Structure 1
């Protein structure tokens, strides 16, 4: 009888033991399910935020592009300039007009063009200040430097392209009177030299077009790109 009694008590204890573990596992499963649902909701919200920013980004890009075209369409052929829809680049394409050969010194013709272009450019972009992260004045060269080619020419051209963009920025800043616009340009514009890293290639031959590669452009960077990047980094951080 004692043995039977002990056996029954043992079975009862085992049952209570497994019931306790089962309850614990059920609780853990509910907790993990809650975490999973909460995380899925969070990811969906972040994706919706990215979509909203992307739509706003596209709308802003289109609006800036249209305003730039409306402002400068008549002058673009005379300046040998173009406006790129996707990158919001205003590019001046005639190297003979822009600078003295091998020098950062602006040609008089380019100074005249900038005097007409830049105050109007700032007036257009001022309407979008809250959406703009930065405006870059970008300088580009061909891959040659005198008798040098390739990597030997890359760094002399890097210095030249950087000096040229800095000269352009100094000149256009001098075109603005002291005040809000001048301060905004000083804090929002950057001068960047790319050397020959973004050469222009002929469509047919895929060879470098040295003349077209030598150019200067003004490029708008909207803050939508930064917002989307921050959301993606936050998502990646949470997943890690």
Structure 2
């Protein structure tokens, strides 16, 4: 079937709004639509894919058809489900809103970033063809691949590979054509279907796997040694069983293990952990026939290391999970009670103990399909939002904090941060200072640190602080409508001779305040009267003692702990 790809920007047919100052972005288009996968771009924006419905109310065609199938084919591009790509910034503004229209129904189900800040988008047509698109950063097509068997195929996910290619995992109906090279006698009605592509879109191999029963490909992940762990489900005797399979980089089977302990289990998502083991999110039915969360940890040789069941009052499932840099886990999905379904997020520690659980949405149907951990440890999630008293689902992007609360929409913080970095580009490039996203300014040059028990400024510190403050203070004054506070914070290391904890704490606390005051006093005295009056409104000095000492490899770096730091706090109203 010939496929025609046409780009359409749909600003006139969509409406997006965020709830108050919370980062809960609802993109309302005509008819049912949803987002199925999400990732962060290299410019810190967020991209998500899913599908929209696209219907035309009239046609200008004058063609006459004698065959109903010819007519249906002629209007399929006008009445269809189409792939959708959404890109948003930290302010919940839509940067990109594109539909990729095919000549038949199609759904995008998976998104993978490319090294060039573009995208792989995977999906399928409603008549069983599989689709792989490679897009540039502006969503222009680099290549398109249509693949699959002669049967009804469905794509479940794309897996990013270290060689720049992708692995497509899904399900295919069993081939009954002896000329089909994928035919394998003894497979069931449906089989696991895996295809590997190079970074240039070359199909390296396609293979089917399964049992004599019906098998469904769910997810996969690349191990450190280049082998691939595939997660599937086997439908057997009116029950469902978990199947794990390890294949090598050429698709040859290393091992296959079926778990028959729970016929109600449904696999959802697998990830590789930082300790090189694997974590699988499952759901199972409890004695009340409600979905419950189950987390299974295993090693590359299929040995079970941990099997944790999370009991909740209502039915719940985690459709996606990810690991933080500190080995904590976050998952998103849904929670269902008698009357409605809400979106769900759960936070776990490294031992899989649940720390937080929150529900989101209105009194209708809401669900989160996918998540990504952002560079600042916030979480962006994509899914479905259904407004109260509505029957149509909308695309939904939700941003969460580490404690599962909904994050606030960034106002001018990013712009302010970029201007600040530009102002101090020389100091940053020479490793004298570091400016963090939360507008904390840290001094890195060892010559700017304090010696043990000292708080008076030396000549090198004074020279630097004069130049530094003569840039910073006028800049803050220029943007005074945005700035609420300039904090100068003193810090110490944790040692103080042979004294007890009480004296150690009090002496270090006083020393840290003296360091903050000495720095504040020097900066204040070197400003004009106009700027001094301004500083009188925004200056704040604090002493943290050794409560925020610098750690390196779990050891205190005493030299770097003896310092002052600066923090700019913006006015929340701006």
Aligned to 2:347: none
Aligned to 1:41: none
More helix by share: 1
Structure-2 change in CA distance of 1:149 and 1:124 (3 Å): farther
Any conservation in 2 of the 1:135–1:190 contact (CA below 8 Å)? yes
Aligned to 1:48: 20
The answer to whether residue 433 in structure 2 is matched with residue 81 in structure 1 is yes
- Match 2:464 to one of 113, 126, 129: 113
Superposed counterparts of 1:152-191, under 5 Å? 152-179=503-530, 181-191=531-541
Structure-2 change in CA distance of 1:73 and 1:149 (3 Å): farther
SS of 1:143's equivalent?
coil
SS of 1:116's equivalent?
helix
Structure-2 change in CA distance of 1:90 and 1:170 (3 Å): same
1:49 CA drift (Å) = 4.1
SS of 2:412's equivalent?
helix
Structure-2 change in CA distance of 1:168 and 1:98 (3 Å): same
Structure-2 change in CA distance of 1:131 and 1:83 (3 Å): same
Any conservation in 2 of the 1:67–1:124 contact (CA below 8 Å)? no
Residues paired across the two proteins, number: 177
1:51 CA drift (Å) = 5.0
Any conservation in 1 of the 2:442–2:565 contact (CA below 8 Å)? yes
- Match 2:473 to one of 122, 136, 153: 122
Q: Greater CA deviation, 71-80 or 151-160?
A: 71-80
Structure-2 change in CA distance of 1:80 and 1:151 (3 Å): farther
Any conservation in 2 of the 1:100–1:106 contact (CA below 8 Å)? no
SS of 2:457's equivalent?
coil
Structure 2: which 5+ runs fail to align?
1-17, 25-89, 92-407
- Match 2:546 to one of 181, 185, 196: 196
Aligned to 1:216: 564
More strand by share: 2
Superposed counterparts of 1:51-66, under 5 Å? 51=23, 55=91, 58-66=410-418
Q: CA RMSD in A?
A: 2.8
SS of 2:522's equivalent?
helix
Structure 2 CA distance for aligned equivalents of residues 90 and 57 of structure 1: 23
1:92 CA drift (Å) = 1.3
Structure 2 CA distance for aligned equivalents of residues 200 and 100 of structure 1: 15
Structure-2 change in CA distance of 1:78 and 1:154 (3 Å): farther
Structure 2 CA distance for aligned equivalents of residues 68 and 93 of structure 1: 17
Any conservation in 1 of the 2:509–2:546 contact (CA below 8 Å)? yes
Q: Deviations over 1:71-103 (max 9, x none)?
A: 112123546321111x20111134553445412
For the pair shown, the structure with the greater C-alpha radius of gyration is: 1
1:212 CA drift (Å) = 2.1
1:50 CA drift (Å) = 4.6
SS of 1:75's equivalent?
helix
1:216 CA drift (Å) = 1.1
Any conservation in 2 of the 1:98–1:107 contact (CA below 8 Å)? no
Structure 1 CA distance for aligned equivalents of residues 477 and 23 of structure 2: 26
Any conservation in 1 of the 2:510–2:543 contact (CA below 8 Å)? yes
- Match 1:102 to one of 440, 453, 457: 453
By relative contact order (CA 8 Å, sep 6+), the higher-ranking structure is: 1
Structure 1 CA distance for aligned equivalents of residues 421 and 522 of structure 2: 23
Structure-2 change in CA distance of 1:57 and 1:140 (3 Å): farther
SS of 1:198's equivalent?
coil
Superposed counterparts of 1:14-29, under 5 Å? none
Structure-2 change in CA distance of 1:75 and 1:49 (3 Å): closer
